[in-house]
A and B are shown apart, each in its own frame.
Chain A
Amino acid sequence: MTTGTRLAEAVTLREVRRTYGAGDAAVTALAGVSVGFRSGSFTAVMGPSGSGKSTLLHCAAGLDRPTAGTVTIGGTDLGGLSEHRLTTLRRDLVGFVFQEFNLVSALTAAQNVALPLRLAGRRPAPADVAAALAAVGLAERGGHRPSELSGGQQQRVAIARALVTGPAVVFADEPTGALDLRSSRQVLGLLRAAVHEQDQTVVMVTHDPLAAAYADRVLFLADGLLVDELTGPGTPGDAGFAAEVAARMARLEA
């Protein structure tokens, strides 16, 4: 869905806290994070294990509800939305690419791409679906089922599905975590192209500095707090930028 007025920030988090459990066993995953993701930007979120980066993504995407603070997607405050409204909002404004198990195994690639539109009660034009698949280089694979596709191809179908609704933001959770180097490059190149050529907004959680180096901006999280930030040089997969990201990460993990 494309909104008439473009907002400066596709997603905004204000003082977001997330605690799991209660009492002595309570674990704080996010200890108060405020961050905005500008429309048409590619942001990577990094941090050591347990830093809260996945929780940040889940809260920002409306998959998880914050304990405190507000999340706004495309100008809509997620707080207080019913499960049904949250779902339809996700369907209209948010695209997802997960690490694994992105596709419904019973459906073909084309059917998987069309699924969000169909769930929204729309009848997608075959040409649109074909175009979405062609954009990720899989024009010929529309009739294949996930089991007949490689891991990299499956992730590309997932990207096509995430983009087909024209969302306000695409969230990617370790999208290259299970891929070899070559497939990783393809997937990251596609995400970057979506941002720079189609003016999409992408937020990606990763632990891989090489992957993070494809982003325009890298956020560093530790112990549930935003601790650092880097801005990239604007060239995809820049080796120097990747080395700098790796160095910051090493400092955080030390």
Chain B
Amino acid sequence: MNWTSLRGPKLEVPAMPGPMAARAHLAPAQDRGRLAIQDLSIAYGEGAGRRTVVERFSLDVAPGEFVCVLGPSGCGKSTVLNVVAGFVPPSRGRVMVDGEPITAPGADRGMVFQQATLFPWKSVLDNVAFGPLMTTGSSSTAEQTARTFLSLVGLAAFEKNYPMELSGGMQQRVGIARALANYPRVLLMDEPFGALDAQTRAMMQEALLNIWAEFRTTVLFITHDIEEAIFLGDRVVVMGASPGRIVADIPVDIPRPRSPEDHFSDAFVRIKRECFELIRAETMKAFEQQSGMAARAAG
């Protein structure tokens, strides 16, 4: 499948600014989908109980780039993603997609969650058609777009099924198709394969790379799995915990298309060792802080 066939039917563009207008000049991601996170800090609570979750997080993602954010649990990586998605307001700094500051959730940023949050009451097709239906208001256009993306993820034959009838991996593929069907500038993935078993996860990683090869959107992928981050990403951004911040930004110089064999290449092993040491150091630090806090609380 080539790019033009992916664009699906020509969409009506109502007189509305923002993401809708962008849809008209949908092009292979050269000038579209630049994500800029500048000096982002996120804190919760007030006064003495105020806790900084993420501190001075800056990241630039080029259009069409696949960036993995790797970090130990509780480092605030999901929170960063939620700010980009528009669900959490930043305490400081700003986040922009193609120069437009983010203020609220929107169809220009597709989101894939850890559990496939497919709507159980909608068929697979209607789930994927949901985004286009919301933004275009036309169900026939939405269904056509949905069919395109269902075949992209290889599930065209299951359009009439309900999500519950699909396996976990298939559900997550539908989840990806649903997020892509809005032609998002940025695809946000929050540990999308975290709930899958190891074999399915490996299959899904390959599937995602194939989908991304065809539909080159900017991807921000959150994970705590080192190998997953290296296998998928152009860059691996390693985060440290308490407060969450970037400790390293490692380019992954493994050529594409990648295959599972790449897991054993020298470059892969080198980056894996580097990430492993960083993550281990950060996890140790977090443990010490926690036990220190526990000791203080006990004493």
A and B part of one assembly: no
Q: Which residues in A have some Cβ–Cβ distance to B below 8 Å? A: none
